[in-house]
Amino acid sequence: MNTLLYISSSIFGEQGKSTELADTFVNQLSTQGSATKVIHRDLAAQPVPHLDASRFAAFITPADERTAEQQAVVKFSDALIDEWRRADTVVLGLPMYNLGLPSTLKAYIDHIARAGETFRYTANGPEGLLQDRQVYVIATRGGQYQNTELDTQSSYIRHIFGLMGVTDIEFIYAEGLNMGSEIAEQALQQARERIAGNVVAA
């Protein structure tokens, strides 16, 4: 059975456009024919705590020296990482807020990008430890930023996932959603068509 990890990060939950499109993608992939188990990590409904000094200290403290509180912090992070290790495919719903990631998504990434677990440092630089899998990023924006210097999201996602060894990443954009109903509907329809095309090809 294939495992699909679905990460949604819209502050609007099910009403968010990134969630709406990602839901469509996940539903189509999971009903395509081959049996698929879906793990849904909803960062709006269940936000991951933001990284602070005490949580970071738990990550770098040797296992046999961790306090009970530190063990709980690491156990939570380990569970998030295990979802990636189990996943054959990842779908990420990614809205843009103030030209960046949702803060809940950044907090989530800070708990899975861990030295010694998902990457390691070597004499030749960092080496990813996650086995590569297909990642689809459903990126929704109020303006139009793709291929401009203001699109900080795409490069960050490629770099941070690449750090962990995940490089097979495809972006599906729906931009200009706050630029009038005609532009918004055209962008959403194009995204739906891209989604349908990827489902057929999968």
The per-residue pLDDT for 202 is: 58
Mean pLDDT of 31-43: 85
**pLDDT number for residue 72:** 98
Q: Give per-residue pLDDT as tens, 56-88.
A: 999 999 999 999 999 999 999 999 999 999 999
Determine how many CB atoms are found less than 10 A away from the CB of residue 28: 16
pLDDT confidence tier of residue 155, bands split at 50, 70 and 90: very high
Tell me: pLDDT of 31 over 90.
no
Q: Which domains does the chain possess? A: 2-201 (3.40.50.360)
The whole-angstrom separation of Cα 163 and Cα 154 is: 14
Q: Could you read off the pLDDT of 174-202 as tens digits, one per residue?
A: 999 999 999 999 999 999 999 998 875 55
